[in-house]
């Protein structure tokens, strides 16, 4: 595969430069323009692997690039205030949208996913079937179906999951996806949507942990003009935007009780009421929810509505953690290794026997996402085409943290993760999640993800 070439269309020079540096550090080729007109004047849009465009641009909006790029995926950037317009852009064919100011890790994740999906048809012959270890006549097997968007695995647990996805996808049943962070819950949700009768409709994905608590109801259900300070105009919510398609609520356990009550009404009555409105309107959506939390336990603690929990789990799909997937771990590691080499325009690397043993023995608390990062880091740092354990930085990291814990290092010697953990534990009783994130200089979503990675629970909310 030739090196991916990305076009950034953004009129704010600081944002454009920051995004250019971020992508170039990943080994990607980047061009840039300040408007739709400039992009068309200076480039052939069909020469790019991906176009990342702001929605609001001088002259024509970034959504105009969708039709003019003729099949090149377009990722739309927008502010929270313009999410409705971003959803409209998705209906026109945008591959995804991301809210500004964006988290760098989130942007890279989206870019990786889009590039992987657009390259899947070209990779299928030379990568996917060999990686799955399947004979040539097994193309109909769910694990080799490209519509599963690169979900690799033929362990019994994964094959059972694929079979259940195939059975439930054509129905309109509400689905609850259970799985640890990094297991690929959103990929399963996309597979369900793409195999459903709603596949031609929109799929709206919402990470409930990423939206500030004060905005969650407005974002989901919309609001009327004047319903709260700053509501200068009426806005449709993301549930309305999903009408005729699928609404995916990731980390639904993070919803507050009031939003849960409103969501229950959507499931029971098939209608919504915007914040500040007395009028209800019908919506036709299929709901897919996902969580890494135990919703049943939360309901017993009065932190999640029991009636909503039972409404959600009409069909429950469990994604096994990577440590329970047996030989899938090495199969997936080799697939990710080939993809990383392809993306960085490097020769095909291989794993040494010691590296394979290390991968197989590690517990992978961050699951597939952690494995992907370890493989990419090894490809970047390795001085040879055979990757040895030290470049995976798995065992060394474990030993390093254990040593620090035992030696009572002074604060000046703390790692960033040590500092993060201490800061959160010391201040979370006095600060909201939003305030914590602002003090740490990160997004609320990044705060949530680091909590999961480091095993730092949120403070218990008082029952309402």
pLDDT digits (tens, 9 = 90+) for 148-188: 656 888 888 888 899 899 999 999 999 999 999 889 999 99
CATH architecture under which domain 140-318 falls? 3-Layer(aba) Sandwich (3.40)
How deeply is 79 buried, as exposed, middle or buried, from its count of CB atoms within 10 A (0-12, 13-18, 19+)?
middle
Give the tens place of pLDDT for each residue, 372-406. Answer: 999 999 999 988 888 988 888 875 444 333 333 33
At residue 449, the pLDDT reads 75
- Residue 431 DSSP one-character state: S
Cα torsion through 15, 17, 18, 19, rounded to 10: 80
Beta strand 271-272 with 281-282: parallel, antiparallel or unpaired?
Answer: antiparallel
5-114 and 322-397 have identical folds = no
What pLDDT is stored for residue 409 in this prediction?
A: 37
Instruction: Give CA separation, 196 vs 191, 192, 202, 291, in Å.
Output: 9, 6, 12, 21
Does 1.10.8.60 match the CATH number of domain 322-397? yes
- Specify burial of residue 431 (Cβ count, 10 A radius: 0-12, 13-18, 19+): middle
Q: What is the pLDDT of residue 402?
A: 39
On the 0-12 / 13-18 / 19+ scale of CB atoms within 10 A, 339 is: buried
Q: How far apart are CA 463 and CA 454, in angstroms?
A: 26
- The pLDDT value recorded for residue 140 is 33
pLDDT of residue 455: 74
The parts of the chain modelled with pLDDT lower than 70 are 1-2, 79-88, 91, 118-150, 226-232, 395-419, 438, 440-442, 459-464
Sequence-distant (≥ 6) Cβ neighbours of residue 413 within 8 angstroms: 404
- Domain 5-114 grouped into CATH 3.40.50.2300: yes
Domain locations along the chain: 5-114, 140-318, 322-397, 409-454
- Here the tokens at position 63 are 């959504």
Q: What is the pLDDT of residue 284?
A: 93
Give the DSSP per-residue string, 12-75: -HHHHHHHHHHHHTTT-EEEEESSHHHHHHH--GGG-SEEEEESS-SSS-TTHHHHHTTTS-EE
The whole-angstrom separation of Cα 36 and Cα 214 is 34
- Predicted local confidence at residue 196, as pLDDT: 93
């Amino acid at each position: 595969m030739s090196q991916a070439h990305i076009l950034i269309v953004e009129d704010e020079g600081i944002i454009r430069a920051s995004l250019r540096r971020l992508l170039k550090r990943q080994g990607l080729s980047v061009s840039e323009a300040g408007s739709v007109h400039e992009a068309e004047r200076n480039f052939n849009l069909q020469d790019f692997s991906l176009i990342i465009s702001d929605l609001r641009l001088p002259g024509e909006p970034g959504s105009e690039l969708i039709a003019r790029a003729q099949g090149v995926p377009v990722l739309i950037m927008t502010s929270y205030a313009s999410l409705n317009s971003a959803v409209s852009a998705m209906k026109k064919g945008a591959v995804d949208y991301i809210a500004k100011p964006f988290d760098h890790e989130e942007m890279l994740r989206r870019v990786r996913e889009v590039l992987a999906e657009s390259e899947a048809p070209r990779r299928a012959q030379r990568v996917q079937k060999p990686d799955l270890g399947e004979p040539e006549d097994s193309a109909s097997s769910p694990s080799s179906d490209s519509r599963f968007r690169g979900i690799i695995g033929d362990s019994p647990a994964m094959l059972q999951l694929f079979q259940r996805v195939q059975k439930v996808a054509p129905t309109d049943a509400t689905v609850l996806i259970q799985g640890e962070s990094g297991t690929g819950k959103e990929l399963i949700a996309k597979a369900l949507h793409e195999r459903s009768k709603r596949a031609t409709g929109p799929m709206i994905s919402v990470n409930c942990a990423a939206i500030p608590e004060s905005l969650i109801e407005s974002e989901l259900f919309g609001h009327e003009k004047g319903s709260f300070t700053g509501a200068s105009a009426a806005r449709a919510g993301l549930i309305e935007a999903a009408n005729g398609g699928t609404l995916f609520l990731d980390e639904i356990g993070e919803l507050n009780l009031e939003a849960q009550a409103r969501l229950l009404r959507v499931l029971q009555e098939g209608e919504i009421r915007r914040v500040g409105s007395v009028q209800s309107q019908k919506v036709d959506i299929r709901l897919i929810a996902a969580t890494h939390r135990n919703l049943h336990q939360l309901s017993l603690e009065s932190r999640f509505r029991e009636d909503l929990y039972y409404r959600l789990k009409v069909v429950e799909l469990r994604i096994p953690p990577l440590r329970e997937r047996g030989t899938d771990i090495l199969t997936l590691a080799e697939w990710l290794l080939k993809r990383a080499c392809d993306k960085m325009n490097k020769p095909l690397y291989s794993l040494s026997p010691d590296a394979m043993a290390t991968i197989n023995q590690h517990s992978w608390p961050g699951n597939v996402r952690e494995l992907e990062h370890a493989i990419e880091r090894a490809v970047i740092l390795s001085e040879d085409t055979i990757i040895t354990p030290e470049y995976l930085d798995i065992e060394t990291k474990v030993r390093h943290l254990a040593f620090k814990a035992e030696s009572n290092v002074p604060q000046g010697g703390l790692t960033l993760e040590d500092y993060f953990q201490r800061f959160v534990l010391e201040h979370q009783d006095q600060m909201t999640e939003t305030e914590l994130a602002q003090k740490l200089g990160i997004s609320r979503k990044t705060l949530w993800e680091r909590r999961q990675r480091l095993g730092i629970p949120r403070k218990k909310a008082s029952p309402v």
